[in-house]
């Protein structure tokens, strides 16, 4: 009796259970990979969406082209290389990124750079003048208002805003008006003492 050729050579390869599981796992892993963006940030399409921005940072004028979705924090750190302003929570909750914009303190991680064309911005890098620390920087050192130092730039910029707003009349008032700035090291007594010290001189 002649054997059926299809029985000798199946039309499809026969996989063992182990091989079938391996193929399925590979397909699932491939499907789970994130999709690549259609256009890279440096593509002509992305460049067309950029917006012109003129800002003065620490007394120096800058004319830039930025993605309208960029925060002032990212422009300062990534474009202007001013990394003194820290990116902490990136959600506006910790105050590490506090800067002064037109004299007002803001959390820069939640502020779009494109909304502040023509603004005057002050960061921690602009406080030192001709090698001399700002009085509030000196007070932080004197009163030991820092430990690890990560939150210190935001604390100092917020402290300057607090004093300028007239909210440095008492330790309790300072604590209230600087409650948006978190210090994970717990250096609050020194921070409050430093702000009260400088606030009392103005």
Domain boundary among 109, 126, 143: 126
Q: In what order do the strands lie in the sheet with 104-107?
A: 60-66, 51-57, 120-122, 98-101, 104-107
Share of the chain above pLDDT 70, in %: 76
Q: What is the mean pLDDT of the chain?
A: 87
What is the reported pLDDT for 46?
A: 54
pTM: 0.76
Q: pLDDT tens digits for 5-42? A: 545 555 445 556 666 666 666 666 656 666 555 444 45
4 within some domain: no
What is the reported pLDDT for 14?
A: 59
What is the reported pLDDT for 160?
A: 98
What is the reported pLDDT for 35?
A: 56
Q: Which domain holds residue 121?
A: 51-126
| Together in a domain, 85 and 119 | yes
| Together in a domain, 119 and 139 | no
Length of the chain as a residue count: 202
Structure tokens at 84: 């003194």
96-105 burial, b at 16+ Cβ within 10 Å, e below that, comes to bbbbbbeeeb
Q: Looking at the predicted structure, is the pLDDT value of residue 57 above 60?
A: yes
Question: Are 113 and 66 contacting, i.e. CB atoms less than 8 angstroms apart?
Answer: yes
Q: 170: pLDDT confidence band, cut at 50, 70 and 90?
A: very high
Q: Looking at the predicted structure, is the pLDDT value of residue 70 above 90?
A: yes
Question: Are 151 and 113 contacting, i.e. CB atoms less than 8 angstroms apart?
Answer: no
| Together in a domain, 112 and 69 | yes
Average pLDDT of 117-136?
96
What is the reported pLDDT for 38?
A: 44
Average pLDDT of 90-115?
96
| Together in a domain, 80 and 142 | no
Share of the chain above pLDDT 90, in %: 73
16 within some domain: no
Question: Are 126 and 57 contacting, i.e. CB atoms less than 8 angstroms apart?
Answer: yes
What is the reported pLDDT for 19?
A: 67
Q: What is the CATH number of the domain that holds 178?
A: 1.10.150.120
69 within some domain: yes
């Amino acid at each position: 009796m002649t054997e059926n050729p299809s029985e000798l050579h199946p039309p499809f390869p026969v996989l063992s259970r182990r091989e079938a599981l391996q193929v399925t796992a590979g397909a699932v892993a491939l499907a789970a990979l994130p999709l690549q963006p259609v256009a890279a940030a440096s593509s002509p399409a992305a460049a067309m969406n950029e917006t012109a921005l003129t800002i003065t940072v620490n007394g120096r004028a800058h004319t830039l082209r930025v993605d309208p979705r960029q925060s002032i924090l990212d422009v300062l750190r990534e474009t202007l290389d001013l990394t003194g302003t820290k990116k902490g929570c990136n959600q506006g909750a910790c105050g590490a990124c506090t800067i002064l914009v037109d004299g007002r303190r803001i959390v820069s991680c939640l502020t779009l750079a494109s909304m502040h064309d023509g603004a005057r911005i002050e960061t921690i890098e602009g406080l030192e003048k001709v090698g001399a620390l700002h009085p509030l920087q000196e007070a932080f050192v004197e009163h030991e208002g820092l430990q690890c130092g990560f939150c210190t730039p935001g604390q100092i910029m917020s402290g300057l805003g607090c004093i300028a707003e007239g909210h440095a009349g008492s330790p309790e008032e300072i604590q209230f008006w600087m409650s948006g700035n978190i210090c994970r090291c717990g250096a609050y007594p020194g921070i409050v003492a430093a702000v009260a010290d400088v606030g009392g001189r103005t």
